[in-house]
Amino acid sequence: MKATPFAKRGLGSASILVLGALMCPVFLGTNLWGGPGDDPESNEEHEEHDHVHRVEIPGLEISPWAVDFDKVYVGEEPIKQVVLSNTSEKPLTLRKIYSGCGCAIPRIVFSTGEVVEISKQGVRSELGVIAPGEQARLEVRFVTHGYHGKIHKHISIESDHDDFPYFKIAVLAQIEDAITLEPTAFDFGDVIRGQQIFREIVLKSTGIGAFELAGFENLPAFMRYQVETVVQPRGADPAEHAVRLQLRLQGDFPLGESKFLLFASIRHGRVKSLRLPVRMNVQPKVIFRNQGKFIGSNLDFGVFPRRLGKQLTVEIVNLAPTIPYDVLDVFVNGKLKPYLEVELVPLEEGTRYELRIQVKPGHPKGYARGSISLVSDHQDMMLKKIRLLGYAFDSK
């Protein structure tokens, strides 16, 4: 078959002293929220949590001052509560509640039965009123996804109390993995669109016992899964349990690089869900290779002597020949254009080609940049643009 040539187309020391003076109250344990922080002796009352600040607020009893979730597994969403008792003779209005962490989601339940969900800061100027002698419950739901290790945050409450309009409730937790992943993600790597390929990971419990993977909340249409229980060796810890999860790609999945999370539903007394990272780089059915490596949008041909130029060969392969890949036109652009010759050689019509690229001698010293665009009527590859990058140097 005859080769087809294409025409060229076209801070100072004083500032540190001042900053140190301002920061001293923080390191000395002074409460900067106002009210209780004005009295150093008010910081001395500590019970089981030495790092939780408690104060005496006239007319208001708070129990407990710390919402301690202790050890929490990723996937759990436990709820604990704090009781706010109005022991004064006048109503106490709760104005705003701020959560210092997305892991702690508060809501207020008043004695009247009214429930106020706190979705974001400053939603309302008045949340509700605690009548004299009545109570309200601050319920805190702890969300573990996206967090790990030791957590020490605060929920801040603003009220119309005359002397103490602000106070904070501590939120404490130690977040640990209930189920580990081996490997830690589904990494499909470089795959061809339409290729049937699978990956496996082992889900292993760490002390919570048996669990069941019940399905997925967001499984894409181009994925299928299969689960089987891993038989544990004799004498293994009964608190440990493992399943093997296989994910299979099929059909025409989206092109390009993708990173996303699958949310798996777990049947267990404590853990309800699990996040599984997925990564893939989907190549079209028509692929471009240089020296056996996939070409995305860039082709770096490195440094070359300007008096000799540079030759490159790009292999074009149609992996689904039932739909022919026919190149309709080729365009050359960029500063390389005057020094570039391009020739498309059909090796097998509609299936395999060679794109031969010649950087002619005489390119100016410095960076060599340009692009080649191939136009086709193929549904997966109507336009392929390859950016050329290189550097020309003077040789002896």
- Are both 255 and 359 inside the same structural domain? no
Q: pLDDT band for position 40 (50/70/90)?
A: very low
- Are both 225 and 132 inside the same structural domain? no
- Are both 170 and 190 inside the same structural domain? no
What was the pLDDT predicted at 308? 92
What was the pLDDT predicted at 389? 93
Q: Over 60: is that where the pLDDT of 70 sits?
A: yes
What was the pLDDT predicted at 119? 65
What was the pLDDT predicted at 3? 52
What was the pLDDT predicted at 269? 81
Q: Over range 284-289, report the average pLDDT.
A: 88
pLDDT digits (tens, 9 = 90+) for 312-365: 999 999 988 878 899 999 999 998 899 999 999 999 988 999 999 999 999 999
In a domain, 27, yes or no: no
In a domain, 71, yes or no: yes
In a domain, 47, yes or no: no
Lowest-pLDDT choice from 71-85, 152-166, 283-297: 283-297
- Are both 207 and 252 inside the same structural domain? yes
Q: pLDDT band for position 375 (50/70/90)?
A: very high
Sheet holding 298-305, edge to edge: 298-305, 383-393, 366-376, 327-333
Q: Over range 293-316, report the average pLDDT.
A: 91
Q: pLDDT band for position 125 (50/70/90)?
A: low
The enclosing domain of 371 has a CATH number of: 2.60.40.10
| Among candidate residues 247, 266, 283, the one where a domain is terminated | 283
- Are both 220 and 146 inside the same structural domain? no
Using alpha carbons, select from 61, 63, 45, 144 the residue that is nearest to residue 101. Answer: 144
- Are both 101 and 164 inside the same structural domain? yes
Q: Over 70: is that where the pLDDT of 129 sits?
A: yes
- Are both 152 and 171 inside the same structural domain? yes
| Among candidate residues 258, 283, 308, the one where a domain is terminated | 283
- Are both 69 and 80 inside the same structural domain? yes
- Bridge partners, residue 263, by sequence: 275
Q: Over 80: is that where the pLDDT of 160 sits?
A: yes
Q: pLDDT band for position 36 (50/70/90)?
A: very low
- Are both 265 and 355 inside the same structural domain? no
- Are both 344 and 378 inside the same structural domain? yes
In a domain, 314, yes or no: yes
- Are both 265 and 296 inside the same structural domain? no
Q: Over range 73-102, report the average pLDDT.
A: 91
Q: Over 50: is that where the pLDDT of 1 sits?
A: no
What was the pLDDT predicted at 53? 64
The secondary element (H helix, E strand) that includes residue 317 is: strand 310-318
- Are both 190 and 118 inside the same structural domain? no
| Among candidate residues 228, 260, 283, the one where a domain is terminated | 283
Q: Which residues contact 58 (CB under 8 A, 6 or more apart)?
A: 88, 163, 164
In a domain, 51, yes or no: no
How far is C-alpha 361 from the chain's CA centre?
A: 48
In a domain, 38, yes or no: no
What was the pLDDT predicted at 8? 41
Using alpha carbons, select from 214, 217, 287, 272 the residue that is nearest to residue 76. Answer: 272
In a domain, 15, yes or no: no
What is the number of structural domains in the chain? 3
Q: pLDDT band for position 18 (50/70/90)?
A: very low
SS3 49: coil
> Domain range spanning residue 373?
286-393
In a domain, 40, yes or no: no
Q: Over 50: is that where the pLDDT of 121 sits?
A: no
pLDDT digits (tens, 9 = 90+) for 173-213: 999 888 889 999 999 998 888 788 999 999 998 778 889 99
